[in-house]
Structure 1
Amino acid sequence: MNPALQAGFGREMLAHWPLETGVIYLNHGTVGATPRRVLAAQQALREEMEQQPARFLLRELCGLSGPSDRAVPRLREAASAVARFMGAQGPDLVFVDNATAGVNAVLGSLELNPGDQILITNLAYGAVRNAAAFSAERRGARLVTLELPFPGAEPALYINRLSQALTPRTRLVILDHITSETALVLPLAEMAACCRAAGVPVLADGAHAPGAIPLDIPRLGVDYYTGNLHKWALAPKGCGFLWVAPERQQGLHPPVISWGLGQGFVQEFDWVGTKDPTPFLAAPAALALMQEWGLEAMQAYNHHLARQALAWLSARWGFEPPAPEAMLGSMVTLPLPAALGSTRQEALRLQYALLYEHRIEAPILCLGGRLWVRISAQVYNSLEDVEALALALEAYK
């Protein structure tokens, strides 16, 4: 028996989440789902904050507005715990609301001249593409799109295509660690090494990576890494981070300029105005819970379940696996039978039919003139959920 299956994971784990009873939730990758214990930790922080808001926010949170009896500011304490989880150092990591905010911070601080290029791939998240296009257009630069194949090919092909796409005018490459719609785990370290050899900095969009796969950010060789903790790392909503290599921190600013301006990378990001910081402060509780459940066991279970879904559905519906084993994580995006449709309108209609008629939450996508389903495997899911999804979809053929 696979060791991951001995950890007690499956539908019984639903007791740890406040997910709606009776709904099959195969969409953890979209906005995550926060366990009850982490929500309780966040609520305790909110209540503590409201007992003495000025002390909590102005003196204890980041140490920007006066003395505190805390040896380490609250945000720095949380940042150090999060950084350790990903093999990094606390001073190199700051919190942002989400990965998109991290991308905007890097793009907004990037020096661009007319004719310069930002390179992005066709597999990039739509919001990130919009941010890159906006940043390039306002400065007379160009957004260049590198076409990468999906269904996937061997990792070497992605590296070779990236190498050929770099030019002397490339000022930044934005690479996904795990692509959003297509759920491919890209060979990020090798692609970053290719860019580094050409002298081009890399911004990694790791929205789906923390918690889902083993992660040691400094070893990836990227210049910037932004990710979400409210997806696979189980933190409350609105909890992301931006890691920046020490040599890239000077001159990097948050999208919101506030009282920390000119006081360094950490101070600028730690205070961007009054907001609820409890998602960030509760993130260590989420990471501790994953360690308690067994982080490696969770990742192994989710990966195994994604592989099971791929094998079972490819045999049932007669398609070739869309990605090699090396590019599969805790999610998998699979083609649907052609009879189910081929347009975005049909994808949306089918997704809503799944939810409202069968109580199954799973994204239906239209890619390349064909419908696909993306399945997220979390420890509260089982192969029974995938089987129920298949039966529901087949009712519309």
Structure 2
Amino acid sequence: MEGPGLGAAVRHEWTLDDDAVFLNHGSFGATPRVVLDRQAEWRAQMERQPVLFMNEIVPQALRESAGILGGFVGAEGTDLVFTANATAAVNAVLSSLPLRPGDQVVTTAQAYPAVRNALRHYCRSAGTDLTVIPLPLPVANEAAVTAAVEAALTSKTRLAVFDHVTSHSAIILPVAALAALCRDRGVPVLIDGAHAPGMLDLDIAGLGVDWYAGNCHKWLCAPKGAGFLWARGDRQDILHPTVISNQYGHGFTAEFDWTGTADPTPALSVPAAIDFHETLGGAGLRARNASLADKAARSLVDRLGTEAAAPAAMRGAMAAVRLPPSAGQGWETAAALHDRLWHEHRIEVPVLAIDDALWVRISAQAYNAFPDYVRLGDALERMGVGSLP
């Protein structure tokens, strides 16, 4: 049973539609009122005296915000810079690396499509081989992932790129173990941690990776436009933002802190998002969300007669559940099912085409409760998406 402090009791903290069931926090997050209010205060201050704000207030305020975020994710603020989103952070790393013809870059088939596209672009430009490691669903355990990665590494591997939490299949990859495996072979590691901050307990500096890209607008509920890039101290000198501006050559934080005129208020509002997250329970909230997602996934698996994309130990506040073969295949069918769930049942949830099956990916945030997922199961049954024949 849902405790008295979460679920419906806190839904008013967000501006979400009252008549909708929102099971897709994972895509773009949802920013609570108190954080939006803080962002509005920053914007009002900016517009009262834009020159003073940009030239004198923002440089210090960004560094203070980075320090607070660093404390939350297990990193030094001086090793962390803000970006528009995790994809921008990934692109900054890829555009800075001296990839050459004959080199190899590895990632997995579960990588976020935007990151795969960035890898394709930079590898094609450099004449570098991109190896995409198959990870068929369902994934059995962490050992299956590490074994697949180990088999793909060669003497020519110059970079490995892994998700911390895969976007479509919602699988927590064993990034510390993967980093150790790569480090033993002299392979630098870039982690796409778009879904991790606010979902997982983080110690980025302790993972053994070289670069870590993250988002604050998803599970940390900061405003859209608050991504970040962490770089190990000895991996910072080679990095440059994809937009080169006035601070070129002045160091890692200086270059990324100023890439031209932009709205800095999403990054400046991150401390307010962290405060809100902690008010709702912090580590307790993260554990509660994972437990709710697990309970919901098990219920849907039972009702549909299918399976989840990974065992519970490899899932957090999201879970992907396979739909039966009767649901069909392909992205066109997935889009049609999504639209029906929204327009006919007022349920917002992703329906994804992965390999030869359709999957529904559920999210569990503080404002969700178990009846939300019962309503999803009821809707799927009414739509004729039943159990296996």
What TM bracket, shorter-length normalisation? Answer: over 0.9
Name the Cα RMSD after superposition: 1.1
Structure 2 Cα separation of the partners of residues 270 and 102 of structure 1: 13
How big is the shift at 1:6? 3.4
Matched, 1:327 2:314: yes
Matched, 1:301 2:288: yes
Matched, 1:42 2:29: no
Structure 2 Cα separation of the partners of residues 49 and 232 of structure 1: 27
SS at match of 1:231: coil
The question of whether the paired residues in 2 share the 8 Å contact of 1:11 and 1:381 is answered with: yes
The C-alpha deviation readout for 1:317-337, integer Å capped at 9, x for no partner, is 222443122201000000112
2:6 aligned partner = 9
SS at match of 1:6: coil
Superposition pairs of residues 18-33 of structure 1, within 5 angstroms = 18-33=15-30
Matched, 1:182 2:179: no
The question of whether the paired residues in 1 share the 8 Å contact of 2:307 and 2:321 is answered with: no
2:140 aligned partner = 153
Superposition pairs of residues 77-88 of structure 1, within 5 angstroms = 77-88=64-75
| 2:249 aligns with one of 262, 267, 287 | 262
How big is the shift at 1:98? 0.3
Which aligned runs of 4 or more in structure 1 are off by greater than 4 angstroms?
A: none
SS at match of 2:367: coil
Structure 1 Cα separation of the partners of residues 350 and 49 of structure 2: 43
Superposition pairs of residues 244-259 of structure 1, within 5 angstroms = 244-259=231-246
The question of whether the paired residues in 1 share the 8 Å contact of 2:169 and 2:309 is answered with: no
| 1:132 aligns with one of 110, 119, 123 | 119
Structure 2 Cα separation of the partners of residues 76 and 212 of structure 1: 24
The C-alpha deviation readout for 1:231-262, integer Å capped at 9, x for no partner, is 00110001100000001001200000001101
Structure 2 Cα separation of the partners of residues 232 and 269 of structure 1: 23
SS at match of 2:319: strand
Once the two structures are overlaid, the 10-residue window that deviates more, 154-163 or 129-138, is 154-163
How big is the shift at 1:7? 5.8
Structure 2 Cα separation of the partners of residues 313 and 82 of structure 1: 35
The question of whether the paired residues in 1 share the 8 Å contact of 2:308 and 2:319 is answered with: no
Structure 1 Cα separation of the partners of residues 28 and 263 of structure 2: 18
Matched, 1:55 2:52: yes
Structure 2's unaligned 5+ residue stretches are 385-389
Structure 1 Cα separation of the partners of residues 13 and 49 of structure 2: 31
2:189 aligned partner = 202
Once the two structures are overlaid, the 10-residue window that deviates more, 22-31 or 365-374, is 365-374
The question of whether the paired residues in 2 share the 8 Å contact of 1:340 and 1:396 is answered with: no
How big is the shift at 1:292? 1.4
How big is the shift at 1:379? 0.9
Amino acid at match of 2:11: L
Structure 1 Cα separation of the partners of residues 332 and 120 of structure 2: 26
Once the two structures are overlaid, the 10-residue window that deviates more, 320-329 or 344-353, is 320-329
1:70 aligned partner = none
1:345 aligned partner = 332
SS at match of 2:46: helix
Aligned residue pairs, count: 384
Structure 1's unaligned 5+ residue stretches are 63-72
How big is the shift at 1:20? 1.4
1:215 aligned partner = 202
The C-alpha deviation readout for 1:83-128, integer Å capped at 9, x for no partner, is 0001110100000000000000000000011111111110000000
The question of whether the paired residues in 2 share the 8 Å contact of 1:7 and 1:297 is answered with: no
The question of whether the paired residues in 2 share the 8 Å contact of 1:204 and 1:222 is answered with: yes
The C-alpha deviation readout for 1:348-397, integer Å capped at 9, x for no partner, is 10100111111110000111221110000111111111011111111221
Amino acid at match of 2:50: P
2:266 aligned partner = 279
**CA spacing shift, 1:342–1:144, aligned 2, 3 Å:** same
Structure 1 Cα separation of the partners of residues 232 and 378 of structure 2: 48
The C-alpha deviation readout for 1:22-79, integer Å capped at 9, x for no partner, is 01000000000000000000000000111110011122212xxxxxxxxxx1100000
Structure 2 Cα separation of the partners of residues 89 and 368 of structure 1: 40
Structure 1 Cα separation of the partners of residues 306 and 137 of structure 2: 14
Structure 2 Cα separation of the partners of residues 279 and 7 of structure 1: 31
TM-score, normalised by the number of residues in structure 1: 0.95
Structure 1 Cα separation of the partners of residues 52 and 129 of structure 2: 46
1:100 aligned partner = 87
How big is the shift at 1:208? 0.2
Structure 1 Cα separation of the partners of residues 297 and 377 of structure 2: 12
1:317 aligned partner = 304
Amino acid at match of 2:294: R
Amino acid at match of 2:19: G
Percent pairwise identity: 48
Superposition pairs of residues 161-176 of structure 1, within 5 angstroms = 161-176=148-163
